Amino acid sequence: MKILLAPAAALIAVAVIAATMVSAPRPAAAKPEFAQQTGKPCAFCHSPGPPTLNDQGKSFQSKGHKL
């Protein structure tokens, strides 16, 4: 027995899948080379939780990745 989805239901399903793929967690883009270069732990520049730069990280980035 085949189950056919109405076009509106199919569009909703595609939208939900697309939203899930866009908002799904991704690996951090932090570069361990910076930790080796500076001798600081990753948390020096990155906030916990979603990988974002804190104030020190933004300053480091704006100075061309130099302390």
Residue 1: inside a domain = no
Report field, pTM of the whole predicted structure over 0.75: no
In a domain, 2, yes or no: no
pLDDT exceeds cutoff 90 at 17: no
Which has more pLDDT, 1 or 40? Answer: 40
**Domains in the chain, number:** 1
Q: Tell me the helix, strand and coil percentages in the chain, rounded to 5.
A: 50, 5, 40
Distance CA 49, CA 31 (A): 17
- How far is residue 54's CA from residue 42's CA, in Å, rounded to a whole number? 11
User: Does some domain include residue 67?
Assistant: no
- In a domain, residue 30? The reply is yes
Q: Which two tokens stand for residue 57?
A: 């990280």
Residue 36 belongs to a domain: yes
Cα end-to-end distance, the chain, whole Å: 66
Enclosing domain of residue 24: 7-62
Is residue 14 situated within a structural domain?
yes
The whole-angstrom separation of Cα 51 and Cα 49 is: 6
